[in-house]
Structure 1
Amino acid sequence: MDDLQVRHAMSIDDAYVVERVLARGERGITELVTLDGAGPFVRKRMPHAAARRMVWAALAECSSPYLPRVQATYDMPDEFVAVYDFVAGETLSDVMNRRGKLSLDEVADIVAAVFNAASDLHAHHVVHADIAPSNIIVAADGAHLIDFDIARMTYDAPASGEQTWGTYGFAAPEQHGFAPIDTRSDIYAIGRLAGYLLVGTLLDERTYEAALRCTGLVPEAVCSVLGRACAFEPSARFQTADALASAFADAVRGEASDMGPEDSSEMPSSISAATSRHAADVAEKPPLSTDDAGRTELSGAETGHASSKSSHMSSATRRMLVGVLAVVVVVLGALGFWMLGGRAQDSGTDAHDDASPVATATDDLSGFSDAPDELGGSALPESSEPASEEAQACLKIVDSGWSVDAAGYINYGVAIQNTSEDLTIEFPAYTITGRSEDGSILYSDTQALSVIYPGETRYFGSIAGNGNAPATVEFATVAPYEWAVSTAAGRPSTFDIAHLSAVSNGIGGTSITGEVTMTSKGNDAEGASNIELTLIARNDSGSIVYGADAFITMPAEGAATPFEIFCYDLPSYSSFEIYAQPW
């Protein structure tokens, strides 16, 4: 910039009055500003190296009412600056924290706006890459998509070392390095978003459609649409936001959608007509309102399209669904739930403790809300009342630990024990809360397991967080509902795990290998086709420092099969354990 350009830019910059700083980070400073009494506006100041000028230029050409309306962009000597309209409202994350889950009609309204915004972005060759509840503002006129920090043009080549991870639990697999990202990455995120809003929790990505169906909260047609939207392979997803919008709107109305292949080369050229059609369908619904606390309230019933059927699905039938029930919060395709299997010391012998199904080894490598009414159904349970005090008190966190990886996420392990002598609890859940040094909450996730029998302890190890490294992490059980508690019936499967070893996988990580044998097939294996294996690593003092998991095909009873669990950012440890359960 020459002197004249600098003076001109500074005169524009100085004309704005900063009312307050909204956010500050490595990608720049976000401020609330006014100009000669007009506004307020949002001013985003970005270092030149982090600024994507073409994204902001394309955004200025977009006409969707659910995207930021860019008022000005200009260069400063060390920064690129964008100014756009401020949208008053509450983040969708805050709405979910208050509400837990939303009705189908409410979700349809929200995603209709998101479809509209995404379709317009994609028509201008922009990938948002971070569609998530924290980046959606629920305002009086609908849901607005914000935060373009990692947005990119579809033709942008990724820079070396560039992070395009997005938000944990919503980012598409390719955003973790499996393949280049494109507009179909946003399709995946919208599919995950819709499911999260409907059930109130993040479900396992690997069995997403089945997990949605398992909750009993989502109509069959919607499960099918969202399942396709979140296919691992981008070519298997809906190829445009228009196509997903049309299929989702049809599913909400209970109409059959054309789920056939699409022309993957076709890009939307305008804001989705299907989205506009759905918006017309819901135009007569009561508008959003603001309560006395200034929070935006959504219209419609919270329970969604629930069937009036009152018969409960039997406990045995629910356990047949354990193999496809998903746990919450999935990153890198490595989340799940498991139960305790057989125990062995990796010392060249096969000694086992039948009461503790886990294999251990030593090494020194330094370096939900509601249950389903019937299979595939959408009815709510008869009672959503909390279980008795006795049942609530029987779930205990008996072991936990964690470490932070290079990206700021935590790798954790936790053990839940059912201290009851006669109560079986289905879908036991717990929360993971990360706090900063000053005690403020950075994130709070909820995880759910399948079933826990009397006297049983279950370990879970996985990844959690949002990229902000916590100072402390808290684990706490969630009180079960009345319908999830029953008198003990059935028995868990048991496993032997042997021949454990830890080796370098040749790409900067460690592989834990071994062999698992199903010694006894229990009730929890009904309907399951895989085994989930969970790694818990401990330090010299016996504290958990790392958790991870993997899946293999379930062998026949009495048969053995080998396995390998990949670990990255594995901290120094002195021993590890492997747990197994049907899945």
Structure 2
Amino acid sequence: MDDEQVLHAMGLDDSYRVERVLADHPSGVTELVTLDGAGPFVRRRIPLKIARRDVWARLGSCDSPRLPRVQATYELPDTFVVVCDYVPGPTLEQLVGSSGPLGPHRACEVALDVCEAAGELHAHGIVHRDISPGNVIVAADGAHLIDLGIARLVVEGASHDTTALGTWGFASPEQYGFAQTDARSDVYSIGRLLGYMVTGLTPGSDDYEAALADGERIPANVRAAVSHACAFEPSARYQTAGELSGALRALLRGEDVAQAAGGERPGRVDASLSPEAEVAESDAASGAPVPPGAGERDGGSVAPSPHRRRIVVVVAAVVVAAAAVTAYAVLSPRTSGGGASGSASSVSSSGTSASGSDASASPSAGGADSASGTATSAGSSSTRPTTGKSILKSDGDVQVTEAGWYLADGNVVNVAYGVHNAGSKTILYPSVSVTCLDADGKAIATTQTALMAVAPGQTLYFATFVDGTDEAGSIASVEFAADAQGMGASVSSLVPSRYATADVRERSDSSGATIVTGTVTLDSQGTDEAAQGSAVCAVYRAADGSIVGGDVVFVDMPTASDPARFQIEDYGVPAHASVDVQAYPW
């Protein structure tokens, strides 16, 4: 930009009057503004490093009343600014939080509006990637889909997204790094949104599956539509927002809904789907207790492949409404208890437990003093799969302290590593590029994960799967390269909350699964208000303390009085001597 362009943009920026700050996060500031008495408008100020100008340009070409209408875009020296129409009304999160679950008929109507918005985005090559209750406005003229902060254009031929982003409970499995996101990822999120509306619970939380299965409140056809939309494998879902929209319209007409193989095939829709029935039942529904007991699987009707199969059990009663970076969260570990003392547990193979207050009971690297737990192996693992050399590359104060990997089934590589902040400031959005190399140093597969924040002296552990394609068997080494710049800049004001884990136990079941369970408690509250849940990372270690592999699950945020219980289930884990478990805000 030349000086004249900068002065013009600054003059335009100054012409707006800020009426209220709606959100202020490291990813940008969202404000309610007016211009010479006109408006109000929503102005979003996005750091240039993470701004997706191409997405906002295409949004301006979209023609749907269910999407934000862009009024202006301009660029300042370090900020990209978007001004959109303001849509008055509560978010779906606020509506359900204050009034309880929606009736099935009303929920399908809202979902139809969201399908219309998503379909228009997809027609212009945009994947929203964060369709969640906080990003849906329920206005007088229907539902509106907002906040394209992490939307991206579809990249043909790519195998993974560059960075894993989304809102826990609504983000599709591929947003955790399993595959490339596309229109079917948004279909998954709309299905989860429908489940949320009719249950009033975040998908994946403790009572969600039991509430969704309540045939007295939720018609079988609605459950079937949710299951089909939320299948683990993208190919088993409705393939477009239009297909899902057609199924929802069939529900409203009382017709059958065609299901994927293995799904539920109900008859005609229940009478309770009619708006008249909803009015009659509204008072009872708003006060009805949630059925006890919860289904444990966080997913749809199609079971994931063994190395990707994971179960999350959550008992924290509070789901934090503040979302990371305007109602979305980075789907990577954020902050651990670096520098904090936390409780640790160890168990013997007999399953007995002993708790203590010494965080050093959990071995760690890079000087980390994290809230974690350690369990000795229950002897469930089989012979260790193929593994090899790990190449660690640090970048300034961001240091990769240790790492390990193994070749799992299905040409997939499991990796686990620790990232340490050796500086004096909290670093936001540092990333780690994981690259699988053959014996000649040729890159076979790569993925990148972003950590939301690493405090001074902290070490965060993360684990994920990398798709090695057909050449996975020729992988000789894996490179772990830190990026201190990542998606943002260093700051010093953020103080991470501190979590502790306890009652950590490891066992195996008859199917050969390795199961790690325990609880997460809040040690101290920080200033990370954007956090909306907890990441729990299990790191499997050999007898010499080296990393063998690992896994991560995401659960609700614990409070001082309500701990969160977690369960991690993995298949094909290599033989190991112990497992470390670390929890941190997410």
Helix, strand or coil at the partner of 2:238:
coil
Helix, strand or coil at the partner of 2:217:
coil
User: Any idea what the Cα deviations from partners look like across 1:74-124, whole Å, max 9, x if unmatched?
Assistant: 122222111110111111111111112111121122111111111111111
Classify 1:165/1:41 alpha carbon distance in 2 versus 1 (closer, same or farther; 3 Å). Answer: same
Superposition deviation, residue 259 in structure 1: 3.5
CA contact (8 A) 2:16 2:34 kept: yes
Who is 2:270 aligned against? none
Superposition deviation, residue 212 in structure 1: 2.4
Distance 2:530 2:117 in 1: 36
Who is 2:221 aligned against? 221
Distance 1:147 1:408 in 2: 22
Superposition deviation, residue 257 in structure 1: 2.6
Who is 2:311 aligned against? 334
Who is 2:175 aligned against? 175
Q: Does 1:129 align with 2:129?
A: yes
Any unmatched runs of 5+ in structure 1?
262-281, 287-298, 308-317, 339-344, 351-357, 368-400, 412-435, 441-458, 475-499, 512-534, 536-542, 554-561, 573-583
Classify 1:163/1:149 alpha carbon distance in 2 versus 1 (closer, same or farther; 3 Å). Answer: same
Superposition deviation, residue 11 in structure 1: 2.8
Distance 2:103 2:186 in 1: 23
Distance 2:184 2:107 in 1: 20
Query: Which amino acid letter does the alignment assign opposite residue 195 of structure 2?
Result: G
Q: Aligned residue pairs: how many? A: 375
1:43-442 counterparts in 2 under 5 A?
43-155=43-155, 163-204=163-204, 212-214=212-214, 216-259=216-259, 301=279, 303=281, 325-326=295-296, 333-336=310-313, 359-360=352-353, 364-367=361-364, 407=452
Classify 1:18/1:251 alpha carbon distance in 2 versus 1 (closer, same or farther; 3 Å). Answer: same
CA contact (8 A) 2:19 2:34 kept: yes
CA contact (8 A) 1:32 1:40 kept: yes
Query: Which amino acid letter does the alignment assign opposite residue 128 of structure 1?
Result: H
Which stretch of the first structure deviates more once superposed, 402-411 or 57-66?
402-411
Classify 1:460/1:255 alpha carbon distance in 2 versus 1 (closer, same or farther; 3 Å). Answer: farther
Which stretch of the first structure deviates more once superposed, 63-72 or 19-28?
19-28
Q: TM-score, normalised by structure 1?
A: 0.53
Distance 2:177 2:35 in 1: 42
User: Any idea what the Cα deviations from partners look like across 1:132-190, whole Å, max 9, x if unmatched?
Assistant: 11111111111111111111111289899954331111111111111121111111111
Aligned-residue Cα RMSD (Å) equals: 5.4
Who is 1:549 aligned against? 567
Classify 1:463/1:67 alpha carbon distance in 2 versus 1 (closer, same or farther; 3 Å). Answer: farther
Q: TM-score, normalised by structure 2?
A: 0.53
Who is 1:483 aligned against? none
Classify 1:133/1:402 alpha carbon distance in 2 versus 1 (closer, same or farther; 3 Å). Answer: farther
Classify 1:8/1:258 alpha carbon distance in 2 versus 1 (closer, same or farther; 3 Å). Answer: same
Superposition deviation, residue 472 in structure 1: 12
Distance 1:258 1:472 in 2: 39
Helix, strand or coil at the partner of 2:19:
strand
Any unmatched runs of 5+ in structure 2?
262-272, 286-290, 301-307, 316-345, 365-369, 374-417, 419-450, 455-459, 462-492, 498-516, 534-539, 556-560
CA contact (8 A) 1:105 1:304 kept: no
CA contact (8 A) 1:502 1:510 kept: no
Classify 1:13/1:161 alpha carbon distance in 2 versus 1 (closer, same or farther; 3 Å). Answer: same
CA contact (8 A) 2:521 2:564 kept: no
User: Any idea what the Cα deviations from partners look like across 1:177-204, whole Å, max 9, x if unmatched?
Assistant: 1112111111111101101110111344
Identity of aligned residues (%): 41
Helix, strand or coil at the partner of 1:75:
strand
Distance 1:40 1:111 in 2: 27
Classify 1:76/1:470 alpha carbon distance in 2 versus 1 (closer, same or farther; 3 Å). Answer: closer
Helix, strand or coil at the partner of 1:30:
strand
Distance 2:119 2:578 in 1: 37
